[in-house]
Structure 1
Amino acid sequence: MRGSTRLLPLLVSATVLAACSGPPAAPAGTATPPAAPASVATPTGPAIGGDRPVRMAVPPGYRPGRPAPLLIMLHGFGGSPDQDENYLALGPVAEAEGMLYARPEGLRDRRGRHFWNAFAACCDQDGTGVDDSAYLRGIVEEIRRHYTVDPGRIFVVGFSNGGFMAHRMACDHADLVAAVVSIAGAGPLTAADCRPARPVGVLQIHGDADTSVRYEGGEMGGGYPGAVRTVEDWARRNGCAVPGQRGPARDLVVTDESTPRRPDATETRTLAYAAGCRPGGHVELWTVAGGSHLPVLSAGFARQVVDFLRAHPRPPG
């Protein structure tokens, strides 16, 4: 757990802790985030997203005609692209890796909170029926019309409600998405809700003391599976052997309200599902021991997330 601490913006703490769990409640904070995180490259090029504009960062080394990876970040329930970037800090790593970095925004519910309609459990609490899966695919296709995107390196990272939505994108658009990372989200509850056209790389990161989106699964707008079942379901879809194999421990968090500081810097245990997988189907679970829904992330968190994605492009064919 050694490493520098990033303080969480007050509004993120107030709004995202709800994370779709329980009955709707009004946000408790009023702090205003900065207009754009200083850590994200200045947006350039054409506007993307129409009436739901997308924050688009283009790395300095981007050249038209030279395929670049595309990273999509999906914010949590009640959050925003800027707030969740301030928390996850993916922007600097994406820029360093030459990735196009897009941060779309969910619709607002009747209380003004942004959400994604991922699965029955989370988080279309007003029953709008908005098709965010189709919307996000359209965003990717629009980006591809304006930029030279490597079709084998389109990645999605989501936090909380955005983590549910990352799983939905892998289920619905495996022909488009190479790999996804879900942070404190969950996959679909039933097999009928996920029939991917091809294998997708999947990483689930989850604190085992999360009381908002519970590690063992639970009920919100509908039932959702726990973290272990989520990854085992993906392993089976991808043809991988179950159970997974224990991997090296990782340092993902500094401390949080439920986890005291420890000197060993290895609070996160890992499982990898790699044996027998069809090409492109690698699956991992990183479990933060004692981790809550909003731990303070280590300075190396974003690098480890992006490194997982970089290691799992979509194979040719």
Structure 2
Amino acid sequence: MMPPSILGHLSFQFRTPDKAPFPAGTHPLNLSLGIEGERDTILVVPEGLDTDKPVKLLVMFHGAGGSAEKVMPFFRDWAEKEKFLLMVPQSTYITWDLTVGGNGPDLEKLEKGLEEVASRYNIDKNHFGFCGFSDGASYSLSIGLSNGEIVSHVIALSGGFMNLYVPRGKPLVFIAHSPEDEQLPMKTSGLHHYNELKKEGYDVEFLEFHGLHLIHPPVVEKAMEFFINRSPGRPQ
């Protein structure tokens, strides 16, 4: 039998926190696998977060050649306004390992990051989302749908592929793509994934927008409204 990680399955489980929450601000999680040049995972904690109740968590995956610093400006204000935790992993290599050779250190660091956050916060099971742009959207779709028994929302902004060995659960899905995308054609990527997931019975929304292969703030707004306002209604 193959190890669960080969299939993109996380062993992460929700738990009761046993560490103090971080103060408001931006925090490196100090995760290391001992790989040369690896970058840390960043956690944004909004001012005024109520830790006496379950807190929303959004995990944002950057695009190829990207970084936490490139994507956080599009999502940080939403985290501050809507009071959710924003966790931003960074790929070990130029892009996510699933894109170039299969699950490996990126999934391992994602696991460690989630465990660290869950040790400090009671995570809202109805608002535990994966989001990504470009290669990060492909990663969000692939890993999010592989772990849909725990991930409540999967958001893909201008993603390319969807690599599912053994999908689990039925998270809510939001896909956005532009017909003017000069890197990843909408018909064979975003729209194709939407149609395939609809056939499989997923609750999936598709947003067609106009523009080049970039993160567009109006699209982020629609995605964040989806994450904040939609809920699968899972028991806490």
Q: TM-score, normalised by structure 2?
A: 0.78
What does 1:95-106 correspond to in 2, within 5 Å? Answer: 95-106=80-91
Q: 1:292 to 1:303 in 2, by over 3 A?
A: closer
SS of match in other structure, 1:70: strand
Larger-gyration structure (1/2)? 1
Contact 1:133 1:168 in 2 (8 A): no
Of Structure 1 and Structure 2, the greater helix share is in 2
Q: Deviations over 1:36-67 (max 9, x none)?
A: xxxxx7225x8353354211111112243321
* Identity within the alignment, %: 22
* Aligned counterpart, 1:117: 97
User: How far apart are residue 142 of structure 1 and its match?
Assistant: 2.4
Identify the residue that residue 64 of structure 1 maps to in structure 2. 51
Gaps of 5+ in 2: 1-23, 34-38
Residue 177 of structure 1, CA deviation:
0.8
Shift of 1:72: 0.8
Tell me, in whole angstroms, the C-alpha distance in 2 between the residues paired with 1:84 and 1:183: 12
Q: CA deviation at 1:204?
A: 1.0
SS of corresponding position for 1:157: strand
1:236, CA displacement in angstroms? 2.3
Distance 2:71 2:205 in 1: 23
Partner-residue secondary structure (3-state), 1:93 = helix
Answer yes or no: is the 8 Å Cα contact 2:145–2:154 preserved in 1.
Answer: no
2:209/2:219 contact within 8 Å kept: no
Alignment counterpart, residue 184 of structure 2, candidates 195, 205, 213: 213
In the other structure, the counterpart of 2:137 is 163
Aligned residue type for 1:141? E
Listed one character per residue, the Cα deviations across residues 65-96 of structure 1 (whole Å, up to 9, x for unaligned) are 3211001110000011101223xx11101111
Shift of 1:176: 1.7
Alignment pair present for 1:179 and 2:100:
no
Aligned amino acid, residue 179 of structure 1: H
Q: Is the 8 A contact 1:93 1:302 kept in 2?
A: no
Distance of 1:85 and 1:128 partners within structure 2? 26
Match for residue 149 of structure 1? 123
Write out per-residue CA displacement over residues 105-162 of structure 1, whole angstroms, 9 at most, x where no aligned residue: 0012xxxx3x1133xxxx32xx475253454244223211122211221011100010
Match of 2:29 in 1: 47
Moved over 6 A (4+): none
Residues 1:306 and 2:227 are matched in the alignment: no
- In structure 1, the residue matched to 2:11 is none
Q: Aligned partner of 1:98: which letter?
A: K
